[in-house]
Amino acid sequence: MSLDAATVRRVANLARLRLDDAEVPKLQAEINGILGWIEQLQAVDTEGVEPMAGGSPNPVALPWRADAVTDGGQAEAVLRNAPDREGEYFGVPKVVE
Amino acid sequence: MSYTLEGSTGTWEVVCGLEIHAQVSSQSKLFSGAATTFGASPNSQVSFVDAGFPGMLPVINAECIAQAVRTGLGLNAQINLWSRFDRKNYFYADLPQGYQISQFAHPIVGTGVVEIALADGTVKKIGITRLHLEQDAGKSQHDQHASKSFIDLNRSGVALMEIVSEPDIRSPEEAGAYLAKIRQITRYLGTCDGNMDEGSMRADVNVSVRKAGEEFRTRCEVKNVNSVRFVMQAVEAEARRQIEVWEAGGTVEQETRLFDTARGVTRSMRSKEDAHDYRYFPDPDLPPLVFEQSWVDELKASLPELPDARRARYVALGLSPYDAHVLTIEKETAAFFEIVAQDRDAKLAANWVTGEYFAALNRLKREVSDSPVSAANLGALLDLISDNTLSGKLAKEVFEAMLEADEPPASIVEKRGLRQVTDMGAIEAAVDAVLAANADKVAQYHAGKATLFGFFVGQTMKAMAGKGNPALVNEVIKRKLGAPSG
Amino acid sequence: MQGTDFTIAEGLRALDRREISAVELTEAHLAGIAALNPRLNAYITVAAESAMEAARASDARRAKGEGAALDGIPLGIKDLFCTEGLRTTAGSKILGNFVPPYESTVSAQLKRDGAVFLGKLNLDEFAMGSSNTTSAFGPVENPWSRANDPEKRLVPGGSSGGSAAAVAARIAMGATATDTGGSIRQPAAFCGIAGIKPTYGRCSRWGIVAFASSLDQAGPVARSVEDCAILLRSMAGFDPKDSTSANLPVPDFAAACTRSVRGLRIGVPAEYTLPGLAPEIDALWQQGLAWLRDAGAEIVPISLPHTKYALPTYYVVAPAEASSNLARYDGVRYGLRVTERESDLRDLYERTRAAGFGAEVKRRIMIGTYVLSAGYYDAYYLKAQKVRALIRRDFEQAWEKVDAIVTPATPSAAFPMDEKQDDPVTMYLNDVFTVTANLAGLPGLAVPAGLDAQGLPLGLQVIGRPFDEETVFAVGAAIERAATFTAKPQVMA
């Protein structure tokens, strides 16, 4: 599977990574190299194999938590690291829908 | 008769499906322990998990699972004992993690069906495709600042149930009825409060049009419609827009739109994720959700009676379908009615509740939840009618007094001396006096003017300060007058 | 003996016997850091004041007879663990001056047990790398150098290069690290120290900056197998805040280090004999097996047929999960923000992320985004997770015949920092022996076993059954006893 420049740009878009024109060819070559190497997975017969769910070596089920308010009430801590804090809110460039 | 729209090239059908987002009623959020109450000060109900801080991890709320299962049971749907959470990846200011935890491939609830009743009396089945659990996003405010939007993450991470219908809806009325029905079910079950003005329930409306006999054409999605009325308007507005496009020779593009409530039209949304490539994959932080059938059965056994079943039971008690419908729209109303009707004439109770009582609520701008009179007292009033202590008219007077102070009716009757008079001697005396004072009318009556009977009744009641037993008054007047001649 | 010569086990004994105080231990290590960190660059942030404060508090506790399991032991914390009130960078510019308002569960448990934190250790950016050359805060130098080329700076391995280098150079008594594809075991081997990645779920991931959620695990690096066991005991344990955390009791790992290996069956996977495997590595591997045989273990050839697919599987799964985990670094709530006057929200995201992420991170985000994108999920991510299941099955079948598996830890000794890396895939091959344990969720330990012809350390790897770190420690300790690895790096406190 080989990516063309347009696809590289589309993927960068999806990932919200700004790419200069100059960067595209190198990135394209590197990614294609990696993808070419990954291609060998297609040779593996995985008919009827259940994909591994997450990383646990033994199957586990989702643990449940009781419904209680145990968190929040910490607006200061939540906002403290904000690059643009507007009072009690996070500020971002205005979004028009 | 099915709903159609006329275009210049012919008759069009409307095909519609709804995706309803219902906030789960729970203390804390789906994957964090922050609170869910509406209207808190900005960013005060936010855990670091909800804010997408580095290293934060989700842990699921057991009650949210139960609420989803209860709702699924209320939708007569398949409950999936194994389901899974997936990440839906996209960038937006109100989505701190850069992905929403949702269920894509394996939802907790599968196919189901609900019935909707239409104005012409028909009952239609609307299929449910699925119900899944997912996180709600935060809120952006765009009008507080000239060049900035303000982000409040209180809502980020609140549990949502997304209820997806089959594209079985064929008219604005059906769309409205379906949304109302889903809302009613979740309110009955206590799984979502359905407060659309607070955003607890929102609908995305999928609309397409077609000529009779055709396959489905392209549909558009109208997002975040927050009332039954707007849903109905949006269906029609979007259908009309699409018909215009097709008839002008164009093609309807699949897109996401918003309903402009002021102008009554839909418009395209700007700059939403272009290709809608959400790159779904199973969330590796969450093993599969698994529970036993025995737990589902326990939940089912403790479900409250659902509106359809309750309505059928009321009809079996002798209520008209209309009254049964009106009394069961809201669970609180039905509960109130049942106390009033307990060990009493159900029809009498229904008449009073849907009549005088509802009128009073309207007038006083009150709800059943903060009722001016207790169900017990209203029931006691009905007892006083049934045992002839009060006539219907007197009962209304007593009821008015009860609205001012929720007193037991018996004490009002005593205090105001409103007991109905059934003493024949008193009635005869009053009738004699009225007939004597209106000899001319008596003569007219005997000459054939039968309608004067009502006049005599009215005068007698007036003389008795309204307390005469109407049936006895009628009987005495009839006897004393004799039959009208002619 | 000076303060930096103690292992953790020795240090605890010396502290208990009042031969040394926590303050003296910490001072010695801080002095070492001051002297050597400018060259090694193992620490991104040194927390001298709070370390001294913690050391004083520890001495006070001990004086009252209230000492805990690690009281007074000075450790370094990989800068991937969020530490409350102490800047955390993940080796990246994108976190800016982020100061976490919370402490990771693993580091909190170390604090609970009385450890002293010397500072935050350097790493490959977002734990993506095998050389610690991708950090935004500069590369880390391996304290070891080649006998025939002592000026040539070598990599310590990665991503936990700072952790391994600090411990090897004795400017930390032990350190926390994380391992997603080998990031504990490979740098431990390159720096001549021990390190263990426990079973997936053994340590909590809460508060650790996530790279690949189904692969990441925290673990210790230290100068001995026993020290790793002591640290792991404090680090491990069920955490209800992590839904993948195993609800199992934590055994006394240190006790397992003295267990005999007599009668244990040691597996040797045929597929780990790579074509072109350096003869020195192979020789050391054979030597390790001989030691175990001498100690009474049985050596059993096994086959793990899907081994060769492990690296490509890893390079689908890890970038995919990373591309999603790193989406939160967007300049909105914390960290770096880059805007222009006319920026809209999208522009803010794009500029911030372009400026904040390094080249390797961007590459992996791109790969990950691509393999998850519409039309490719089945062919890549789903396929890889199926192959992963087969890799796990290979091990499950092996456990019917053996109790532990021994392999080389790395395909080479530490390589030069300036070795040209035009092809990312070449770098990825460093993890060829280690990724299988991450994919299968199994515990894996690296133990220094010998030196190559240049005097550089070489390590062996022990892999065990799920949650059987005890057998892994027993086998590792047996190798360590037989190897009598006493060589020291050229740069040392």
Per-residue pLDDT 10s for chain C (493 aa) are: 788 999 999 999 999 999 999 999 999 999 999 999 999 999 999 999 999 999 999 999 999 999 999 999 999 999 999 999 999 999 999 999 999 999 999 999 999 999 999 999 999 999 999 999 999 999 999 999 999 999 999 999 999 999 999 999 999 999 999 999 999 999 999 999 999 999 999 999 999 999 999 999 999 999 999 999 999 999 999 999 999 999 999 999 999 999 999 999 999 999 999 888 889 999 999 999 999 999 999 999 999 999 999 999 999 999 999 999 999 999 999 999 998 877 899 999 999 999 999 999 999 999 999 999 988 999 999 999 999 999 999 999 999 999 999 999 999 999 999 986 767 777 788 888 999 999 999 999 999 999 999 999 999 999 999 999 999 999 999 999 999 999 999 999 9
Please give the angle made by the CA atoms of C81, C105 and C333, to the nearest 5 degrees: 55
C314/A contact by beta carbon, under 8 A: no
- The residue among C68, C32, C67, C59 whose CA lies nearest residue C48 is C32
What tokens does A43 get?
């040779």
pLDDT at B274: 56
Residues of A in contact with B61 (CB under 8 A): 64-65, 67
Interchain pair C99, A18: CB under 8 A: no
Query: What integer pLDDT is reported at residue C333 of this predicted model?
Result: 96
Select the residue of B57, B60, B96 nearest C328 (Cβ to Cβ): B96
Q: What is the pLDDT of residues A44-97, one digit of tens each?
A: 999 999 999 899 999 899 999 999 999 999 999 999 999 999 999 999 998 876
Residues 6+ apart with CB under 8 A from B384: B390, B395, B398, B409, B410, B413
Whether residue C78 lies in the annotated active site: yes
pLDDT of A1 reads 63
Q: Measured between alpha carbons, how far is C394 from C390 in angstroms, rounded to an integer?
A: 6
C323 is catalytic: no
d(CA B378, CA B315): 21
- The mean predicted confidence, pLDDT, of chain C is 96
Q: How many CB atoms lie within 10 A of CB B13?
A: 18
Whole-angstrom Cα distance, residue B112 to residue B104? 17
Q: Which chains touch A (3 or more CB pairs under 8 A)?
A: B, C
Domain ranges within chain C, ordered by starting residue = 8-262
- Give the model confidence (pLDDT) of C93-141 as tens digits: 999 999 999 999 999 999 999 999 999 999 999 999 999 999 999 999 9
* A13 lies within 8 A of chain B by CB: yes
Provide the CATH number for the domain formed by C8-262 in this structure.
3.90.1300.10
Which of C320, C330, C346 lies closest to B98 in CB terms?
C330
Kind of pairing, strands B5-7 and B10-23?
Answer: antiparallel
Report the phi/psi class of residue B439: left, alpha or beta, with left for phi > 0 and alpha for psi in -120 to 50. Answer: alpha
Q: Which of C104, C131, C135, C183 is catalytic?
A: C183
The hierarchical CATH code for the domain B424-481 is 1.10.10.410
Return the pLDDT at C160: 98
* pLDDT tens track, chain B, 486 positions: 689 999 999 999 999 999 999 999 999 999 999 999 999 999 999 999 999 999 999 999 999 999 999 999 999 999 999 999 999 999 999 999 999 999 999 999 999 999 999 988 889 999 999 999 999 999 999 998 999 999 999 999 999 999 999 999 999 999 999 999 999 999 999 999 999 999 999 999 999 999 999 999 999 999 999 999 999 999 999 999 999 999 999 999 988 999 999 999 999 886 555 557 999 999 999 999 999 999 999 999 999 999 989 999 999 999 998 899 899 989 899 999 999 999 999 999 999 999 999 999 999 999 999 999 999 999 999 999 988 888 888 889 899 999 988 889 988 888 887 787 888 888 999 999 999 999 899 999 988 898 889 999 999 999 988 888 888 899 999 898 886 554
Taking CB atoms and an 8 Å cutoff, what residues of chain C touch A74?
Answer: 101
- pLDDT bracket for residue A7 (50, 70, 90): very high
- CA-wise closest residue to C384 among C210, C152, C212: C212
CA distance C151 to chain B (A): 39
Which residues, at least 6 apart from C23, have a Cβ–Cβ distance to it below 8 Å?
Answer: C52, C55, C56, C59
Rounded Cα–Cα distance for residues B165 and B181 (Å): 12
Question: Which among A18, A57, A77 has the least Cβ separation from residue C350?
Answer: A18
CA C177 to chain centre: 4
Contact A78 B51 (CB under 8 A): yes
Going from N- to C-terminal start, the domains of chain B cover 5-295, 305-416, 424-481
Q: Are C94 and C356 in contact (CB under 8 A)?
A: yes
Backbone angles phi, psi at B2, to 5 degrees: -90, 155
Nearest alpha-carbon partner for B473 in B441, B436, B435: B435
**Chain A residues touching residue B93 (CB < 8 angstroms):** 90, 92, 95
Check CB contact under 8 Å for A55 and C386: no
Whether chain C has a CB inside 8 Å of the CB on A26: the answer is no
- C-beta of residue B101 within 8 angstroms of C-beta of residue B31: yes
pLDDT at C436: 97
Reported as half-sphere exposure (CB side, CA atoms, 13 A), residue B465 has a value of 8
Contact status of C240 with chain A (Cβ, < 8 Å)? yes
The one catalytic residue among C21, C58, C78, C145:
C78
User: Closest Cα to residue C384, out of C371, C393, C395, C398?
Assistant: C371
Please tell me which residue of chain B has the smallest CA distance to A85. Answer: B150
Catalytic residue among C107, C159, C163, C323: C159
Q: Which two tokens stand for residue B275?
A: 């290709």
Which pLDDT does position C182 carry in this prediction? 96
Residue position matching structure tokens 């609420």 = B67
B171-195 exposure pattern, b = at least 16 Cβ within 10 A, e = fewer: bbbbbbbbbbbbbbbbbbbebbbbe
Tokens of C52: 């001294």
Of A63, A72, A96, the CB nearest to B44: A72
Look up residue C424 and give its amino acid.
P
Total Cβ atoms within 10 A of residue B78: 14
Q: Which of residues 133-162 of B touch A (CB under 8 A)?
A: 140-142, 144-153
Closest Cβ–Cβ partner in C309, C336, C344 for A93:
C344
Contacts of C382 in chain A (CB under 8 A): 51
Q: Under an 8 Å CB criterion, which residues of B touch C? A: 48, 51-60, 87, 89, 91, 93, 96-99, 149, 151, 271, 275, 277, 279-281, 284-287
Under 8 Å between Cβ of B361 and B387: no
Question: Counting one residue from A and one from B, how many pairs have CB atoms under 8 Å apart?
Answer: 146
Residue C420 designated active-site? no
Minimal CA separation from A23 to chain C, in Å: 10
Q: Is B33 touching A (CB cutoff 8 A)?
A: yes
